[in-house]
Structure 1
Amino acid sequence: MRRHLATAVLAGIVAAPALATPALAEAKPALAEAKPATAATASTASTASTASTASTTGSQQAQNPIAATFNLVAGFTTYGQNVYVVGSIPELGSWNPAKAVPLTTTSSTFPNWTGGVALPADTYTEFQYIVKNADGTVARWEKGFQQNRSTITPPTGTYITHDTFGGY
């Protein structure tokens, strides 16, 4: 009974009885001052506040991306194969090889591959390099499941890797 009464008091549905515990009696004046009058209103306000915070964080990241450059040594590829970086965030394809970021090389720079993408600042991400055949099929993932590279992008500036395919 006391637990259900405490929930009702905190939701602003009933007044705290005289026999209420001191914690409930102290909570009653704070509830009277609060604007949300019902649990539904409080829930909506909390959700709106959370959404506002997430929106601010998301828009801050969208407004201030960092320039990321992925440099990779992968000398085993054959003519027609290309190297990509794929990862856990949308900017790196959300683990979808069809949306992976391409790296490029030339006859004079091979076996060095490089590519760039704008990434959200101050964001944890995991990634791997993959090799795709000319028809788009994945020939090789860098590592197996749960063996991803991981990083937290810097809050400002640039992020640059110098990696070797398969080398951690």
Structure 2
Amino acid sequence: MLRTYISALSYVFLFAALPLANAGQNIQMTYYLHADFTCKNGITTPGYSVYVVGSLPEIGKWDPAKAVLLSPSNYPTWTGSAGFANVKLNEKVEWKCIIRNEKNASDVQKWQPDPNNEAILIFSPTVQTTGTF
């Protein structure tokens, strides 16, 4: 308990001293809001995997070649996450699950049907969002 208290006290000191150490410098911070994606019923054939693609650059701006590969650890449910840089709190992300060729990104076998999935980005806990084929 004492160790935690001392560590927390050290961080308070460091954060208090940071403006003094960087006086006169232009400091820019990048922060990320994270979302966990789940695509259910992503039944694939060899050479194809499930990806998430959507409205923001971190998930491809609707370009399947820039989509984010999900993990088949609970096949046929695929999961993964993405961090979104410098977005606004409560910003809406639209997205879909796609089944895409692993080597040829232009070969999209299937898009999740309309409507788009939506997630609202918040600080904590991580946004959980699900789509189904």
Q: Which has the higher contact order (CA 8 A, sep 6+)?
A: 2
State the TM-score, normalized to the length of structure 1: 0.53
Structure having the higher Rg: 1
CA-to-partner distance for each residue in 1:89-137, whole Å, 9 max, x for gaps?
111111111111110114xx21121111102342112111111023321
Aligned length: 101
**Structure 1 counterpart of 2:110, one-letter code:** R
- In structure 2, the CA distance between the partners of 1:143 and 1:68, relative to structure 1 (3 Å rule), is same
Segments of 5+ residues of structure 1 without an aligned counterpart are: 1-58
Partner residue of 2:48? 81
Percent same amino acid among aligned pairs?
Answer: 37
Runs of 4+ in 1 over 4 A off after TM superposition: none
- Contact 1:66/1:157, CA 8 A, preserved across alignment: no
* Residues in 1 aligned to 2:123 and 2:75: alpha-carbon distance in whole angstroms: 32
- In structure 2, the CA distance between the partners of 1:143 and 1:162, relative to structure 1 (3 Å rule), is closer
Matches within 5 A, 1:128-143: 128-134=96-102, 135-136=104-105, 137-143=107-113
Segments of 5+ residues of structure 2 without an aligned counterpart are: 1-27
State the TM-score, normalized to the length of structure 2: 0.65
- Contact 2:117/2:130, CA 8 A, preserved across alignment: no
**Structure 2 counterpart of 1:139, one-letter code:** Q
Structure with higher strand content: 2
- Name the SS of the counterpart of 1:154 in structure 2: coil
Partner residue of 1:117? 82
- Contact 1:81/1:133, CA 8 A, preserved across alignment: yes
**Structure 2 counterpart of 1:74, one-letter code:** N
For the aligned residue pairs, the C-alpha RMSD in angstroms reads: 2.0
Structure with higher helix content: 1
- Name the SS of the counterpart of 1:105 in structure 2: strand
Partner residue of 2:129? 161
